Amino acid sequence: MSSFDPNKIADIHRHLHSHLPPEPALRVKAIESLLVEKGLVDPQAVDAWIEAYTEDIGPKRGARVVARAWLDPAFKAQLLDDAGAAVAEMGLQGQATGHLKAVENTPTTHNLVVCTLCSCYPFGILGMAPAWYKAAEYRARAVRDPRGVLREFGVDLDESIAVRVWDSTAELRYMVLPQRPAGTEGLDEDALAALVTRNAMIGTDRDLSPEAA
């Protein structure tokens, strides 16, 4: 019968990992280089996907929607009435935007989005969901103690502000329309979009003033 030597297994494990860079980004680059070398991945395809998720599919799309709503009252009304149609009007429709509802933050209301079952999320306009959004702790505590969760994100709300928690599902996904910050009256759509954060469209960020940025 073979024997199990935990020290030997640990040595093997350390030896294997010693050939990989310590930083996650460098590890990914090392794996990518290996796949390219073996002809399994086209580097141009990788660059195209990175650019798409960074510049197009990522939260910049949602930020454009928010900035348009801040500037155009008619579009804002449409967004709050039928977010899927409003997003489609901007040419931003895609995966997870067909059944989309926008909820508006106001001086007396703050909205927080969660998916209590898994990680349903409108990634077509908000990009990839952050790791914390998919974590069991966030999914549970956002419902039980939303104010406590918000404080951990640096959002300390006065008791006079009501907190509404929205549970995204595969059939209905939510995005938050943040309040337009004071002092931004002279900014154009591009400048306003630059203030909008992904977390604000989930509800874990509230102060989008230029000073906060």
Report the predicted TM-score, pTM, of the whole model to 2 decimal places.
Answer: 0.76
Across 32-36, 66-70, 71-75, 110-114, least confident range: 32-36
Please write the tens of the pLDDT for every residue from 17-40: 555 555 666 767 777 787 888 888
- Catalytic residue among 33, 120, 160, 168, which? 120
Question: By percentage, how much of the chain surpasses pLDDT 70?
Answer: 81
**Do 116 and 33 share a domain, yes or no?**
no
- Catalytic residue among 119, 160, 168, 209, which? 119
Largest CA distance in the chain: 78
Q: What is the domain range of residue 192?
A: 59-202
**Do 35 and 89 share a domain, yes or no?**
no
What would the two tokens of residue 80 be? 């709050």
- Catalytic residue among 2, 3, 18, 118, which? 118
Strand partners, 111: 164
**Number of structural domains in the chain:** 2
Across 24-28, 89-93, 200-204, least confident range: 24-28
CATH code of the domain in which 76 resides: 3.90.330.10
pLDDT score for 124: 85
pLDDT score for 45: 82
Is 18 tagged catalytic? no
pLDDT score for 119: 86
**Do 32 and 77 share a domain, yes or no?**
no
Q: Distance (Å, rounded) from C-alpha 72 to C-alpha 102?
A: 15
Is 115 tagged catalytic? yes
Is 120 tagged catalytic? yes
**Do 180 and 135 share a domain, yes or no?**
yes
pLDDT score for 158: 96
Residue with tokens 């900014």: 187
Q: Is residue 123 part of a domain?
A: yes
pLDDT score for 30: 77
Task: Examine the pLDDT at 12 and tell me if it is beyond 70.
Answer: no
Task: Examine the pLDDT at 87 and tell me if it is beyond 70.
Answer: yes
pLDDT score for 3: 54
Cα 147–chain centre separation: 20
Q: How far is CA 153 from CA 96, 104, 138, 206, 211, in A?
A: 26, 19, 11, 10, 18
**Do 36 and 69 share a domain, yes or no?**
no
List of residues 6+ apart from 105 with CB closer than 8 A: 111, 176, 177, 178, 179, 203, 206
Q: Distance (Å, rounded) from C-alpha 203 to C-alpha 175?
A: 8
- Catalytic residue among 115, 160, 168, 209, which? 115
Is 119 tagged catalytic? yes
Mean pLDDT of the chain: 86
What would the two tokens of residue 98 be? 């067909």
